Amino acid sequence: MIVIVDYKMGNLGSITNIIKKVGYQSVVSSDVEVIKKATKLILPGVGSFDKAMQNLKELELIGALNEKVIIQKTPILGICLGMQLLGNYSEEGNVSGLGWIDAEIKKFQLKSFPELKVPHMGWNEVLIPNSHPLCENLPDPSRFYFVHSYHAVCKNQTNVLMKTHFGYDFDSAIHEDNIMGVQFHPEKSHKFGMQLIKNFIEKC
Amino acid sequence: MLKKRIIPCLDIKDGKTVKGVNFEGLIDAGSPVELAKRYADEGADELVFLDITATIEKRKTLADLVEVIAKEINIPFTVGGGINSLEEAATLILRGADKVSLNSSAVKRPELIQEIAGQFGSQCVVVAIDTKFTNGEWKVFVSGGRIETDLKTVDWAKKVEALGAGEILLTSMNSDGTKNGFEKSVLKEVIQVVNIPVIASGGAGSKEHFKEVFEETNVSAALAASVFHFGEISIPDLKMYLKMNNISIRTTL
């Protein structure tokens, strides 16, 4: 069972829809008992970092997620803010992240690029330096849809799954073992987005 | 590198596409969903749906339509036309719209921008500005371009950014419908004073017009309606042409 974790941070309909489009069913839930039964987890999210962590705490989901992801090694895909939560902390807030991947979330520093506007919004190229089940059948580079002002910086290059250039190169997808996160929105990225979601469901 | 976006705009009335659409192979040419799917598959980077239905009871049709569109297409889309309150915007966003576009209602009550951005984030709020060059300056017009306001376009652009708009959709009424090209002067003026993406609109008649606007201004996207609907420009052709001219564009394989 694919469970989309609902922690009241944004509209989850488009993720349900794309999963349906690639031929699977999913459940949207904030219920610990449902999350416990998941075989795949998706952690979406749009909004602010601290609010997201606070909501996860208030819904008492952090313990259950740690159990599923760290102990049982259930594959999880973080999307956008959901990816950022996988890191240690964010310059956007004061609260610690889930800390599953050794990464910091930093604001775009684009002072030397006055022509670039923040948020980084629109379609950009995603480079895939190494093969990974999540990236199967995706061309290098692929194009995905982004909307964000903060980005991940991995301490170890081994955690970098994809890279994107916006003023400078940043880590647009990160991973560690069964934990994966993408900064872009696969659910809004047409063909390549469908392929990535299909890969997560079938190969990861 | 971030890609320049090509955005077809669909006018909707009572849940149907308004402008006669001249596409072969569509099951229902009046169906915005069919047309939207077609554009998404052809490589449109985003879509804008502009509802020109006036009456309140028809508004429900729009929300229902938004839900169907969200189910069928997986590229971002904006819905605009007569959104007057946070509640109306919230309904459309919760039914699946990625962004809402405000025009006259934002001029009437600028706090609306703040309210929507505060609840859903700036990336959800597009402010559409209809502008016309009159008496030596670019001014803001409302109510479908019928009423002139006291606002200077650059001042209004700065204000909407400060209130939390995430993007500006700038339509030059001098060029709209002329097919003589986008109005680059006002685009440049606005881009210079704001830090949010600006979408060019009004005047697209040829592929060259898209190339010019991307080469000569720092617009993030260009929007057009009839040239796409009547098949005068096909999106795959346009994108290939722009790519050959070294414009950073997303091509679909």
What's domain B5-243's superfamily in CATH? Aldolase class I (3.20.20.70)
How close A14 comes to chain B (CA, Å)? 7
B11 part of the active site: yes
Question: Inter-chain contact B93–A11, Cβ cutoff 8 Å?
Answer: yes
Comparing C-alpha atoms, which of A32, A64, A33, A59 is closest to residue A45?
A59
Residue of A nearest to B74 (CA): A188
* Peptide bond just before A119 cis, omega within 30 deg: yes
Residue in A14, A121, A124 closest to B123 by CB? A121
Which secondary structure element, helix H or strand E, spans residue B7, and what is its range?
A: strand B5-13
pLDDT at A174: 98
> Which pLDDT score is estimated for B56?
64
B176 is catalytic: no
Write out the residue range of the structural domain in which residue A16 sits: 2-203
Q: How far is CA B123 from CA A126, B7, B76, B198, in A?
A: 21, 16, 11, 13
Q: What is the pLDDT of residues A100-156, one digit of tens each?
A: 999 999 999 999 998 888 889 999 999 999 999 999 999 999 999 999 999 999 999
Judge whether B105 and B114 are in contact, CB under 8 Å.
no
> For chain A, how many structural domains are there in total?
1
Dihedral sign (CA A61, A65, A67, A68): positive
Give the domain ranges of chain B: 5-243
Span A10-68, pLDDT tens digits: 778 889 999 999 999 999 999 999 999 999 999 998 888 999 999 999 999 999 999 99
Residues of chain B with pLDDT under 70: 19-29, 54-58, 252-253
Identify the CA nearest to B46 among candidates B11, B88, B90, B10.
B10
Pairing of strands A150-154, B137-142: unpaired
Distance CA B35, CA B52 (A): 17
Task: Tally A–B CB contacts below 8 A.
Answer: 77
pLDDT at B20: 47
ipTM of predicted assembly, 2 dp: 0.87
Pairing of strands B147-152, B16-17: unpaired
- Domain containing residue A25: CATH number: 3.40.50.880
At B119 the pLDDT is: 85
For residue B19, the model assigns a pLDDT of: 63
What local confidence, expressed as pLDDT, does residue B30 receive?
Answer: 75
pTM as predicted: 0.91
**Contact between A124 and B197 using a beta-carbon 8 Å cutoff:** no
Based on the residue annotation, tell me whether A204 is a catalytic residue of this protein: no
* A119:B75 CB<8 A: no
